[in-house]
């Protein structure tokens, strides 16, 4: 799939990991996230840029980058698209 197709699918709430089963919010990767990281992940899933996340949370752009870097490690993803897909697959559907 092309990047645009993946972005569209994630935006529609679809999984881009077709062979993974949906798991409960108790996934250990979620339990390792801080409240702030989870808040940033939720805002990220709404399509906000780092700069807009920073403005919304009244923190610096570098602080957003710091939280995203930690979040990516904890949920085992490499970028924001994968992080949003993870959020949509494992969290959004359960809430």
Residue with tokens 């709404």, as numbered in its chain: 46
Render pLDDT for 54-83 as a digit per residue (tens, 0 to 9): 999 999 999 999 999 999 999 999 999 999
Contact status, residue 44 vs residue 87, Cβ threshold 8 Å: yes
Question: What are the sequence ranges of the domains in the chain?
Answer: 3-92
CATH class of 3-92: alpha beta
8 Å CB contact between 35 and 70: no
pLDDT of residue 21: 46
Kindly state the helix (H) or strand (E) to which residue 87 belongs, with its residue range.
helix 80-87
pLDDT at 16: 57
Average pLDDT over residues 37-51: 95
Residues near 24 by Cβ (< 8 Å), separated by ≥ 6?
94
Asked if 81 and 6 count as a contact pair (C-beta separation under 8 A), the reply is yes
Whole-prediction pTM value?
0.68
User: Tens of pLDDT along 15-40?
Assistant: 555 544 444 455 677 778 899 999 99
């Amino acid at each position: 799939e092309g990047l645009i197709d993946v972005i569209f699918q994630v935006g529609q709430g679809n999984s881009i990991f077709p062979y993974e089963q949906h798991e409960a919010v108790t996934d250990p990767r979620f339990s390792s996230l801080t409240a702030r990281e989870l808040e940033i992940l939720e805002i990220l899933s709404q399509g906000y840029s780092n700069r807009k996340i920073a403005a919304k949370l009244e923190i610096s752009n570098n602080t957003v980058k710091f939280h995203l870097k930690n979040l990516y490690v904890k949920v085992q993803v490499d970028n924001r698209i994968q992080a949003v897909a993870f959020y949509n697959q494992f969290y959004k559907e359960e809430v």
